Amino acid sequence: MVPKIMKQGWLAPLLYLGPALLIMLVFVIYPTVNTVILSFMDRTGTQSAAVDCSSDAPCWGVFENYRYALTTPIMLTALRNNALWLLLMVPGTVAVGLLFALLADRVRYESLAKSIVFMPMAISFIGAGVIWRFMYYIQTGGGAQIGLLNAILVKLGSQPVAFLSDSRFNNFSLMVVGVWLWAGFCMTILSAALKGLPTEVLEAARVDGANEWNLFWSVMFPMVLPTVVVVTTTMVINVLKIFDIVFVMTGGNYGTEVIANRMFQLIVTDTGKSMAIAVLLIILTIPVMIFNVRRFRAEEAMR
Amino acid sequence: MNPLNRLNKLFSKLPLHLAIIIMCILWLVPTLGLFVTSFRTRQAVRETGWWTVFSKQTVAGQAEYNTYCASCHGTDGKKIANANLADPTIANQFTRSINLLLDLQKPINNGPHLVDPQLPTNATKAQAILSPILTYMRALSGHVETSGKLTLSNYLDALVGYKGTANYLSDCQQKVPGTLVVFNCTSADLLNQAGMGRAFLNTIAVAIPSTIIPIFFAALAAYAFAWLDFKGRQWLFALLVGLQIIPLQMVLVPIARLYVSVGLQSSFLGIWLFHTGFGLPYAIYLMRNFIGGLPREIFESVYLDGASHWTAFRTLALPLAMPAIASLGIFQFLWIWNDFLVAKIFLSTKPVLTVQITNLIDPLGGNWNILTGAAFLSFIIPMAVFFAFQKYFARGLLSGSVKG
């Protein structure tokens, strides 16, 4: 470990660690504690949340903000939508990423193809939101459809669809944007894992007459499973905190509300409720985070 | 390999190539649409899809004109001498399609102007037909843009934050009063508060210090964790690393309140400090692993030569840690460049690119030409960084996705 020759007093560590410790105390530890406290206070953060109770409605006393976060219709919608994202968008993104990593591995223009799919990760979610608002745009009241998707629908003889405001489709429309953004990330990580597989094993299986389908499911997939798990949990965290896409595309209207957007919308008008939602968010993410960090350390140790 | 075999191989791989190419096209088309639209005129964007610039299409409005007008006025508009639609003075009478609609509703030769086919009775629907016809009449008179024409004016409009219905340059030339209220029509407009030019500078002012400061402090702390001996080293490191799991949403409000009480709201210093605090846990973790992994012998030898810790840090640890610093720096820089939430809350009066884009969004979709230009302006730097440093970026993403 540390060479003996470098023994020093307490002053040196303090000087080196001091700035970082001070900043993190002020910007991470203090606000986290304060947020938990504020989640039990009213909209101005000055008195107990219980003052918001009215006599003719259910009341959870000092936990009133949590009643809002867990039982009100808008929050139930948000929780349902986050669950939908988890169930559909996360597996979808990982599957698309894995499929593309597998396919691109077999052609000579691999790096170009991968760059194209990876590129959306470089731009902001707000920018991606603009790109897709334009894709989904619907022209009402006559005139040609200038959004690509509706132009295709009309060309095929169908009615144009309000992709972002029709509550039958809009959550899926938003998820497509998520897949478009993150598939490249999943692909890059999974592609690295696939390339790390020992070629002898794959060759041996091929010699034994395994077809590509069997080879994938019984040899490759089990071997990259740890990476698939890391990518999936990372996506789970991203999706639990999903905010920018929803904010810029629908503002959480028309039944597309998600937890983090509700938190943001209430930040100014009702601090207590907003902070209760933030606490709910951290409670949901912590188990996944701990799992993910551990997994990541284990991967790191194996390198 | 003989040619036949080669052909065979190509065919057996055809589905594979197709699948990859289709997927690449699906991924490119949305961005391509944005890019193309940012070079089209406002009117062209409203009338035809961006993909029409690739087809050798008929001039905008020609189809409508042929249906409603050509039978009497002729395909070139000149068939009726005293109603020559190719005459610019006629086209200029109708600045808006509603004017044309009113004119068409007046009887002509003791009968309705349009007999077969008739215009829809609904005024909005009728205008949707007349607006392209007007465009076509202007094209016939050879005096305005056809919808294929590309322009750079959207980028200028985005830079200055123009919100009118024509474009900044022509408004300035024609001294449009509404535009003169907002703009000076000098180069100072490039720094207009509502424009992307100012937002670009603000973003740079946020991103560069917010990248350098946390990395410097993290390097200091990482050096201490790796090469200084003190009590509680292990658990302190574990605690700091554990702070990575705190999501952004947990810390926003208390810090915003703190800033209001000390006067740091909407200041660059405030947002630098915030990004520093929030970037540190991951940065320390990564730097500690890297600096701690450097060979111990080289440190021992400089200490034996009588070097201080500060010298060892400056001349050994920092230069040797450059690969880690580069990777971390690229990741932190892009994260901050693309950040919306933190800038929206802590820098509300000095909008950065992402915030300015949301300010430019017209819910009715009237300014796609400017909005797409604005979005593309915000992509230039991250795209360049991305293509130059792709390999650093990929790894940073995996480890860094725990952040934020």
Domain-located, residue A56: no
Q: What is the pLDDT of residues B179-222, one digit of tens each?
A: 888 888 888 888 888 899 999 999 999 999 999 999 999 999 99
Give the mean pLDDT of B369-386.
92
Residue with tokens 């036949």: B4
Domain-located, residue A20: no
- Interface subset of A 189-208, CB within 8 angstroms of B: 189, 192
Using 50, 70 and 90 to split pLDDT, how confident is the model at A233? confident
Q: Give the pLDDT score at A303.
A: 47
Q: B17 exposed, middle or buried (CB, 10 Å; 0-12, 13-18, 19+)?
A: middle
Give the mean pLDDT of B358-374.
88
Q: What is the pLDDT of residues A108-146, one digit of tens each?
A: 898 899 999 989 988 999 999 999 999 999 988 777 888
How far apart CA B360 and CA A233 sit, in angstroms, is 35
Chain B contact for A10, CB < 8 A?
Answer: yes
Closest approach of chain A CAs to the CA of B374, in angstroms? 9
Mean per-residue pLDDT of chain B: 85
Do A123 and B255 make contact, defined as CB atoms within 8 angstroms?
A: no
Q: Give the pLDDT score at A203.
A: 85
B169-175: long-range contacts, CB 8 A cutoff, minimum separation 24: none
Exposure string for A58-72, b = 16+ CB within 10 A, e = fewer: eeeeebbbbbbbeee
Closest approach of chain B CAs to the CA of A182, in angstroms? 11
Give the mean pLDDT of A212-241.
88
Q: Give the pLDDT score at B402.
A: 44
Q: Higher confidence at residue A113 or residue B107?
A: A113
Contacts of A117 in chain B (CB under 8 A): 23-24, 27
Residue of chain A nearest B21, judged by CA positions = A113
Selecting from B24, B281, B354 the residue whose C-beta is nearest the C-beta of A113 gives B24
Q: Higher confidence at residue A294 or residue B191?
A: B191
Domain-located, residue A38: no
Q: Give the pLDDT score at B207.
A: 95
Residues facing residue B111 across a β-bridge: B108
Select from A69, A72, A70, A62 the least CA-distant residue to A37.
A62
Chain B contact for A38, CB < 8 A?
Answer: yes
Residues facing residue A41 across a β-bridge: A48
E strand map for B47-138:
none
Q: Could you tell me how far CA B9 lies from the centroid of its own chain?
A: 42
Query: Strand, helix or coil at B20?
Result: helix
Domain-located, residue A52: no
Name the strand (E) or helix (H) holding B212: helix B196-227
Question: The domain spanning residue A160 has which CATH number?
Answer: 1.10.3720.10
Q: Give the pLDDT score at B108.
A: 81
Q: Give the pLDDT score at B259.
A: 93
Using 50, 70 and 90 to split pLDDT, how confident is the model at A58? confident
Residue of chain A nearest B214, judged by CA positions = A20
Q: Give the pLDDT score at B78.
A: 81
Contacts of A13 in chain B (CB under 8 A): 224, 228, 230, 233
Give the mean pLDDT of A53-69.
82
Residue of chain B nearest A36, judged by CA positions = B250
Q: For residue A40, which phi and psi values (nearest 5 degrees)?
A: -105, 5
Chain B contact for A252, CB < 8 A?
Answer: no
Q: Write the DSSP assignment of chain A as a string of letters.
A: ---GGG---SHHHHHHHHHHHHHHIIIIIHHHHHHHHHTTB-TTSSSBGGGG--TTS---GGGHHHHHHHHSHHHHHHHHHHHHIIIIIHHHHHHHHHHHHHHHTTSTTHHHHHHHHHGGGGS-HHHHHHHHHHHH----SSS---SHHHHHHHHTTPPP--TTT-TTTHHHHHHHHHHHHHHHHHHHHHHHHHHTS-HHHHHHHHHTT--HHHIIIIIIHHHHHHHHHHHHHHHHHHHHT--HHHHHHTTTTTTT--HHHHHHHHTTT-HHHHHHHHHHHHHHHHHHHHHHHHHHHHHHHH-
Contact (Cβ atoms closer than 8 angstroms) between residue B195 and residue B160: yes
Chain B contact for A127, CB < 8 A?
Answer: yes
Amino acid, res. B323: P
How far apart CA A272 and CA A268 sit, in angstroms, is 10
User: ipTM score here?
Assistant: 0.86
Q: What is the C-alpha R_g of chain B? A: 31
Do B229 and A146 make contact, defined as CB atoms within 8 angstroms?
A: no
Q: What is the pLDDT of residues B315-333, one digit of tens each?
A: 889 998 888 888 888 888 9
Select from B340, B333, B336, B377 the least CA-distant residue to B358.
B340
Number of domains in chain A: 1
Do A119 and B31 make contact, defined as CB atoms within 8 angstroms?
A: yes
Terminal Cα distance for chain B, rounded: 53
Using 50, 70 and 90 to split pLDDT, how confident is the model at B109? confident
Q: Give the pLDDT score at A302.
A: 56
Select from A137, A133, A131, A163 the least CA-distant residue to A151.
A137
Do A142 and B129 make contact, defined as CB atoms within 8 angstroms?
A: yes
Q: Give the pLDDT score at A299.
A: 59
Contacts of B30 in chain A (CB under 8 A): 131-132, 134-135, 148, 180
Length of chain B: 404
Domain-located, residue A1: no
How far apart CA A288 and CA A292 sit, in angstroms, is 6
Q: What is the pLDDT of residues B21-74, one digit of tens each?
A: 999 999 999 999 999 999 998 888 888 889 888 876 556 777 788 888 888 888
Mean per-residue pLDDT of chain A: 88
Query: Which residues form the domain of A148?
Result: 63-302
Chain B contact for A298, CB < 8 A?
Answer: no
Q: Give the pLDDT score at B404.
A: 41
Those residues whose C-beta lies under 8 Å from the C-beta of residue B154, and which sit 6 or more positions away, are B38, B39, B40, B167, B369, B370, B372, B373
- Of all residues in chain A, the percent with pLDDT exceeding 70 is 94
Do A185 and B361 make contact, defined as CB atoms within 8 angstroms?
A: no
Those residues whose C-beta lies under 8 Å from the C-beta of residue A217, and which sit 6 or more positions away, are none
Bond prior to B117 in cis (omega within 30° of 0): yes
In the predicted structure, residue A291 carries a pLDDT above the cut 70: yes
Q: Give the pLDDT score at B139.
A: 77
Name the DSSP letter for residue B267.
-
How far apart CA B277 and CA B248 sit, in angstroms, is 11
For chains A and B, CB pairs below 8 A equal: 297
pTM of the model: 0.82
Name the DSSP letter for residue B188.
G
Give the mean pLDDT of B268-288.
90
Give the mean pLDDT of B159-183.
85
Instruction: Tell me which of A205-214, B218-227, B246-255 is least confident.
Output: A205-214
Q: How far is CA A236 from CA A83, A85, A221, A229, in A?
A: 10, 9, 20, 10
Q: Write the DSSP assignment of B214-241 as a string of letters.
A: HHHHHHHHHHHHHH---TTHHHHHHHHH
